[in-house]
Amino acid sequence: MDASERIPRKICVVGSANVDLTFRTHRLPLPGETLAGSSLHQGMGGKGANQAVAAARLGARVTFVARVGNDAFGSEALASYAAEGIDTSFIHKDNERPTGTAAILVDDKAENSIIVVAGANEGLTPDDIKAATSSIESAALVLCQLETPLGTAIEAFRIARASGTLTVLTPAPVSLVTDELLALCDVCIPNKTEIAALTGCLIENYDDAKNAANLLRQKGVKRVVLTMGGEGALVVDDEGATHIPRMKVDAVDTTGAGDAFTAALAVSLANGLDIRQSARQASIVAAISVTRIGTQSSYPTGKEVQAWRR
């Protein structure tokens, strides 16, 4: 596709849609232990849906390609995406599997543990992606994660590559990543655990992080944006390595902050910012999200980000 035919600020997200049940507890339970929690929050989640919602709130035109169950959570999810202005034409209702569900435990230090039952997410097929070809081709970027089958991400990236749409990968769950997928990846956004698994490097300092990112680039990834939690992020590409410091905030819930970061980076790239400016913008959006409880409920709008910067 010719660059002039591409729709400005359009992002296509291929990935998971879950309902998130967030339990707050003083500390995470030990094996075999029963703990009293302090609150329960139900909201929409899933790495794909989180990225779609975060990008839409920041002003992108978003198409979300996904599967939900033919159940109450699925209908609720569809209605909530439509309310965010997301194009839901490529979200299918699966008659055989329930909507994906995540149980999330968050402790007083804002750390979390998550169990996901994939449900309908497992049913997203390469044919579902082919049906959305024109949407991928006309987008500035396509975002994938791996809570839906690997083959769907590969199909989405193949279509994107053939048409000049930028491919952006969240390599989670990391055990599913293959070299074939990495070779189709323009921007890969791992965290420290993920890059260690992908490269076999233990990340203990800045040089370890830079070396691991360069090893990932040798597998065909063009740009690596390594998120390092409290230590900020590291952008590594042909121009070298740049550290992006983290914004200091009082975190209450870090769940989904990586998805907010990825979406904000993608929106900034789609708006024409370079990768370093985009990573700075992304770190602001992620910082705002950790000051609020929940996943999608914690994502700021473009106006909130501007106000926060002031």
CA-closest candidate to residue 269, choices 187, 210, 212: 187
Phi, psi of 74 (to 5 degrees): -65, -45
Q: For residue 292, which amino acid is it?
A: R
CA distance 252 to 236: 29
Q: Which of 71, 87, 137, 147 binds ligand RIB (CB under 6 A)?
A: 147
Please report how close the Cβ of residue 256 comes to ligand RIB at its closest, in angstroms.
Answer: 4
Return the residue nearest ligand RIB (CB atom): 45
- Which is closer to ligand RIB, CB of 113 or CB of 271? 113
Q: Which of 99, 152, 165, 295 binds ligand RIB (CB under 6 A)?
A: 295
Please report how close the Cβ of residue 41 comes to ligand RIB at its closest, in angstroms.
Answer: 12
Give the SS3 label for residue 233. strand
- What's the token pair of residue 6? 């591409």
CA-closest candidate to residue 195, choices 211, 184, 207, 180: 211
Q: Is-catalytic flag, 259?
A: yes
Residues 48-77 that bind ligand RIB (CB under 6 A): 50
Would you say how long the chain is, in residues?
A: 310
Q: Does 294 bind ligand RIB (CB under 6 A)?
A: no
Phi, psi of 202 (to 5 degrees): -85, 130
Q: Does 22 bind ligand RIB (CB under 6 A)?
A: no
Give the SS3 label for residue 49. helix
Q: Does 87 bind ligand RIB (CB under 6 A)?
A: no
Contact 260, 189 (CB under 8 A): no
Catalytic residue (choose from 20, 71, 186, 259): 259
Please report how close the Cβ of residue 272 comes to ligand RIB at its closest, in angstroms.
Answer: 27
DSSP conformational letter for 87: B
Residues 195-224 that bind ligand RIB (CB under 6 A): none
Element (H, E) at 7: none
Q: Which of 13, 45, 144, 280 binds ligand RIB (CB under 6 A)?
A: 45
Q: Which of 9, 10, 13, 18 binds ligand RIB (CB under 6 A)?
A: 18
Q: Which stretch binds ligand RIB (CB under 6 A): 14-22, 31-39, 174-182, 265-273?
A: 14-22
CA distance 232 to 247: 8
Catalytic residues: 259
Q: List residues near ligand RIB by CB under 6 A.
A: 16, 18, 20, 45-47, 50, 102, 114, 116, 147, 255-256, 258-259, 295
